[in-house]
Structure 1
Amino acid sequence: MNKKHFLYILAFIAFIFGCSKVREGFLSDTIRYKDRVLYAKKGMTLTQSDRINADGSTPPLTFKMSNLRDIATGAPAPQEFFTQYEVMVFKTGEVFNPDTDTTVELLNKKRELQKMTPMHFNEISGQLSFNRASSNLPVGEYTFDIQATNVWGTKQYESFADVHVVEPTTEDVFELIYTASSASNSSEVFTTLKAPIVTAKRVSGDGARVILKYVDKNGRSFNPAQGQVIKRGDRPFFETYAKFNPVQYTDTAMICDFEVAPFPLQKYVTPATDWGYLIYYRIPMAFVAPDGLANHNVNPVVSFRLKMEGTYVVTVQIPDVTRIN
C-alpha cells in the first residue's frame, strides 16, 4: 500500500468516527441501596430507606419502581400495598403543644384524617418509605425492579432490592433513655441507689395507653392509689407529657391514655431547665426500705419513649429496695 492510499484510509476512518455521535453522560450498571433488604416495620410512624447510590451516574436521575412481587412465589404483591387507608396526621404547620393541647378536642383541631397508601416511592431519590398505614400489610418478603433514567438514557434493574414486612420488636417501639434512683432522708440528704431496671411489653395494638408500674426488688408493686408513689414538687411526672385524659391510679400502676405517638411527643422545657423526657416520682419512707438505710424515701427517675400507638406495660424495678406492708 502506497502512502497515498494509506492517507485515504486514515481520512475515511476519521470521517466515520467524526460522524458518530458520542453518547452523553453515564448511567452505572451498579446503582444500589446501602442495604439490599429494606425493612417495613408494621404500623411505625415512619420507616424509610436510604437514597439510591447512583455510583457516579450523571445527575439528575429519576427512578421508577415496578413489579413488586412475592420473593418465594413470584406472585404480585398483595393489594394492601396499593390500597389507601385513613391515617391521623397533624395538619400542615400544626405542632403539638403539651401546655395548651390539654384535651382530645383541642388536639383534634390540629389533626386530620388523610388517605394514604402504606408505601411511598420517591422517584427523585429512590427512597422507599412506610407509614402508619403499614399496619395493614401482611408479613412477608417481596422484591421489586427499578428503572433509572438520566441524560444517558434508561436502564432496567431486575430484582433491585427486597422488602421484608415484619412486626416491630420491643426495641423498635420502646426507647429507654435514662434511669437513676436515690434515697433521701427527712432532711433531704440524698444517697445514690442502683439504677432501676426498666422493661416494656406491648400487650395490644389497640388504643394508646401506657400502664406504668413501680416494683421492689422482689417484684411487688407499690400502690399509687394509696399514695405509695407520689409526685416530686415541680418536676415533670407522667401527666406532664399528655394531659388529654386524667391519669388513673390503681393499686398496682398508673395508667395514662396518651392519644398520640411517639409518647412523650415533645420534651418538657421550662425557662430554667430542659427536662427532656424525664419522669420523677417518690416512694415515701413509710412504704419502702432501701438496703442498708432506715427511714429514707426512694426517688426513681426514668426517661423513655413509646414510638407507636398501642397498649404497653412499662415496669420500673428498683433493685435495692423492699416494699413495706
Structure 2
Amino acid sequence: MKKKYIISSISVLALFGILLSCAKVEKGFISDFMYYSPNPLIATQGNVTNSKPLELDGSTGPVKVKLLAVRNLATGQPAPELLKEYIIKQFNGQITTADSTVELVNKKIVLKPSTALEVNEIGGRISLSQATTNVATGDYVIDVEVTNIKGTRSILNACKIQLLPKSHYTLDAGPFFTTSDAAAETGFSASSTLPVTITYDNKGPNKIRFVFLDKNGLTFDPSAGQVVTRGDRGNFSQMNPYFPVVRTTTALEWEFIDLPNGFPIKDGNNGTGNYYRIPARFTVENRNANPVFFGFKALSAGSYTVTIQIPGITKKP
C-alpha cells in the first residue's frame, strides 16, 4: 500500500515539473525606482561636469536611456537652450607624453559644435559641456526614458541640475604647512592651516603667479633662492612642462595654455600637489617653512595670482 502512495507522489511531482517546464519564463527585470545620485547634480557655467550612470535598482542591464525633456524648474517651461548647439573648444584626441610642446597640444584642440547637455544612451550618464557658458544659471530638471530586455519605463523629474555661475579656478580644500629643521629633513612640526587666496584678471595674459608671504605680509624673493622646490615632491613645473618657470623678485611665474577642461591637465609626482619650501636661512625662526596645497587649476584664459601666506614665519631682514 505504501508503495502505491510513493508511486502516486512521484507521478504528481513529475507532472508538476512538466507543467513548470512548459510555462513561459519571464526575461529580465525593470524597476520602477531607478534614480540618479547625487541629485541635484551641481555644475558651473562653462565647465565640464559628468554625473554617475543611472542607478538601476536591480534592473537587468544593459539599459538604454533617452532624454525626453529638460525644463526650467522654477517656471516648468522647456529649456531648449540646454539642447542647442554652440561652438566650443574641444579635444580631438587624448593628450599624451608625446605632446610635449604647445604646438603639439594645440593640434589636438578644435572648435566644434556641442550641446550644453547630453544624456548618454548607454547607462544614462548626464554630461554638461563648456557650452553651458551660454546658459543662464538656475535650476533645471530632466525626464528620461529607460529601456532594457524587460521593457520601458519613463522617469519624470529624474534629476535636478543646479547650474552655478562660472568658476574661473579650482583649489582643493585643506592647504597646510609644516616647519622643519634647517638644512635637514628632520624635526617636522605638526601641520597647520595655510591661508591661500587667488585673484583673477580676465584681461591679463595667460599667466600664473605663485606669491609667498610671511606672517606680516612681506614677500619672499624666489630669484634669490628664498622659495625652492622639495626634492622629488610635486610642484607646478612638473604639471606644466610647456613653459619654463620664471623666478622674479616677487613670484614664481608660468605661462599656460587655455585648454577646454582647464590647466594643468598633467599631474606631478604627487598628483596635483604643490610642495614648496622657504629655507631656514631666510626666516627669523631659523626653521624651514613647507607650504603645501593641492588642486589648483585655471579654468579660463587670463592672469592668476595665487598668494600663499605662511603663519608663524617671519622673513629675515
Counting strand residues as a fraction of each chain, which structure ranks higher? 1
Q: How many Å separate the matches in 2 of 1:276 and 1:64? A: 36
CA distance 1:122–1:216, shift in 2 (3 Å): same
Matching of residues 298-317 of structure 1 within 5 Å: 298-310=288-300, 311-317=303-309
1:64 and 2:66 correspond:
yes
Q: Which residue is 1:76 aligned to? A: 78
Q: How many Å separate the matches in 2 of 1:119 and 1:208? A: 28
Q: Which residue is 2:265 aligned to? A: 265
Shift of 1:176: 5.1
Root-mean-square deviation over aligned CA pairs:
3.6
Q: How many Å separate the matches in 1 of 2:29 and 2:165? A: 40
Shift of 1:135: 2.9
Q: How many Å separate the matches in 2 of 1:267 and 1:72? A: 40
Matching of residues 123-138 of structure 1 within 5 Å: 123-138=121-136
Q: Which runs of 5+ in 1 are unaligned?
A: 1-20, 270-274, 291-295
Counterpart residue identity of residue 53, structure 2: R
Q: Which residue is 1:14 aligned to? A: none
CA displacement 1:279-321 (0-9 Å, x = unmatched): 444435554212xxxxx36242424222452344323222221
Q: Which runs of 5+ in 2 are unaligned?
A: 1-23
Contact 1:88 1:112 in 2 (8 A): yes
Q: Which residue is 2:101 aligned to? A: 103
Shift of 1:213: 1.5
Counterpart residue identity of residue 174, structure 1: L
Contact 1:201 1:312 in 2 (8 A): yes
Q: Secondary structure at the match of 1:323?
A: coil
TM-score normalized with structure 2 length = 0.74
**Of residues 283, 303, 306 in structure 1, which corresponds to 2:278?**
283
Q: Which residue is 1:146 aligned to? A: 144
Contact 2:86 2:115 in 1 (8 A): yes
Q: How many Å separate the matches in 2 of 1:282 and 1:36? A: 42
CA distance 1:85–1:324, shift in 2 (3 Å): same
Shift of 1:165: 0.8
Shift of 1:65: 1.0
Q: How many Å separate the matches in 1 of 2:280 and 2:108? A: 44
Contact 2:141 2:158 in 1 (8 A): yes
Contact 1:262 1:306 in 2 (8 A): no
Contact 1:202 1:312 in 2 (8 A): yes
Q: Which residue is 2:196 aligned to? A: 199
1:43 and 2:46 correspond:
yes
Shift of 1:162: 1.5
Q: How many Å separate the matches in 1 of 2:47 and 2:69? A: 25
Contact 2:175 2:195 in 1 (8 A): no
Q: How many Å separate the matches in 1 of 2:267 and 2:77? A: 46
Indicate the percent of aligned positions where both proteins have the same amino acid.
Answer: 31
Contact 1:203 1:312 in 2 (8 A): yes
CA distance 1:268–1:87, shift in 2 (3 Å): same
Shift of 1:56: 3.4
Shift of 1:143: 1.5
Shift of 1:125: 0.8
Q: How many Å separate the matches in 2 of 1:289 and 1:173? A: 33
Counterpart residue identity of residue 46, structure 2: G
Shift of 1:153: 3.7
CA displacement 1:37-58 (0-9 Å, x = unmatched): 222222334x222222233334
Shift of 1:68: 0.9
Contact 1:101 1:244 in 2 (8 A): no
Counterpart residue identity of residue 284, structure 2: A
CA distance 1:84–1:250, shift in 2 (3 Å): same
Q: Which residue is 1:54 aligned to? A: 56
Q: How many Å separate the matches in 1 of 2:33 and 2:276? A: 56
Q: How many Å separate the matches in 2 of 1:278 and 1:158? A: 42
**Of residues 120, 123, 134 in structure 2, which corresponds to 1:122?**
120
Shift of 1:69: 1.3
TM-score normalized with structure 1 length = 0.72
Counterpart residue identity of residue 317, structure 1: Q
Q: How many Å separate the matches in 1 of 2:231 and 2:149? A: 65
CA displacement 1:219-239 (0-9 Å, x = unmatched): 322233454324566765442
1:182 and 2:174 correspond:
no
CA distance 1:153–1:192, shift in 2 (3 Å): closer
